[in-house]
């Protein structure tokens, strides 16, 4: 996650777009790779068109590799993160986009998985907030159930998290001892008993 955590903020759960989002670019890459190999197998080296075929298939292979690489890089940058204070949605490679939803502004949560989604481990998560833009849908998310449950749990824990975050540190406890004359508890470094007014023996 590129977004910096605030003071007292903890990263609870993080997921990204499922690998199924890059299946199409991967198929294109594999087909062009097969075409490149076939250009050497089917076209005889002595044929006049051989060099042209090899170069053409090589250029297509490089373009397909770039196509697949771009979408895979984009998938790895497409992140949803849950902290104890907010939900962060990040995406983009060259131009970055980031959206934050405070947990206390989230009203409703739901997730949807098709049969294939349950088998492959992806689905859609819908978040409805109190903001004007309304519902936000995260599509083809890896581990959608865990994302939804993490948000729901820490949305309910949000008041406690704020209380802990804003709590003042406890004052240090000073050591004490018992006065040998009156048996009252006094500070360990005291030289005179505040109850009896008598000088105390050193520790």
Question: How is domain 1-16+80-167 classified at the architecture level of CATH?
Answer: Roll (2.30)
Going residue by residue through the chain, which has 203 residues, state the pLDDT in tens, using 9 for 90 and above.
Answer: 777 888 888 899 999 999 999 999 999 999 999 998 888 887 777 667 778 888 888 899 999 999 999 999 998 888 889 998 888 888 888 778 888 888 888 888 888 888 998 999 999 988 887 766 667 888 899 999 999 999 899 888 888 887 877 766 655 677 887 877 777 777 877 778 777 777 777 76
Buried/exposed 94-114: b ≥16 CB within 10 Å, e otherwise: eeeeeeebebebbeebebebe
Rounded to the nearest 5 degrees, what angle is found at the Cα of 105, between the Cα atoms of 165 and 10? 35
CA 35 vs CA 20, 29, 39, 54, 60: distances in Å: 23, 10, 6, 10, 9
Q: Give the 3-state secondary structure of residue 156.
A: helix
- Residue 18's CB: how many other CB atoms inside 10 A? 21
pLDDT tens digit sequence for 95-138: 788 888 888 888 888 888 889 989 999 999 888 877 666 678 88
Helix 50-77 with 23-42: angle, nearest 10 deg: 160
What is the spatial distance between Cα 11 and Cα 85, in angstroms, rounded to a whole number? 9
Q: What is the pLDDT at residue 130?
A: 72
Residue 14, C-beta contacts closer than 8 angstroms, at least 6 positions apart: 1, 79, 80, 81, 82
* Strand arrangement, sheet containing 79-83: 11-16, 79-83, 86-91, 97-102
What is the spatial distance between Cα 26 and Cα 64, in angstroms, rounded to a whole number? 8
Of 58, 30, 29, 31, give the one whose Cα is nearest residue 43: 58
């Amino acid at each position: 996650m590129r977004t910096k955590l605030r003071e007292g903020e903890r990263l609870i759960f993080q997921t990204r777009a499922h690998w199924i989002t890059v299946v199409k670019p991967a198929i294109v890459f594999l087909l062009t790779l097969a075409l490149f190999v076939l250009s050497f197998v089917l076209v005889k080296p002595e044929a006049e068109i051989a060099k042209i075929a090899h170069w053409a298939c090589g250029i297509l292979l490089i373009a397909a590799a770039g196509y697949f690489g771009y979408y895979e890089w984009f998938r790895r940058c497409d992140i949803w993160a849950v902290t104890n204070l907010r939900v962060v949605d990040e995406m983009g490679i060259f131009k970055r986009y980031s959206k934050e939803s405070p947990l206390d502004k989230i009203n409703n949560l739901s997730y949807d998985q098709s049969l294939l989604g349950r088998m492959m481990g992806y689905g859609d998560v819908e978040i409805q907030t109190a903001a004007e833009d309304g519902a936000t849908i995260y599509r083809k998310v890896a581990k959608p159930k865990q994302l939804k449950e993490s948000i729901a749990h820490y949305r309910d824990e949000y008041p406690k998290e704020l209380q802990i975050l804003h709590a003042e540190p406890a004052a240090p406890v000073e050591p004490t001892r018992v006065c040998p004359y009156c048996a009252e508890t006094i500070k360990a470094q005291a030289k005179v008993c505040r109850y009896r007014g008598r000088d105390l023996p050193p520790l």
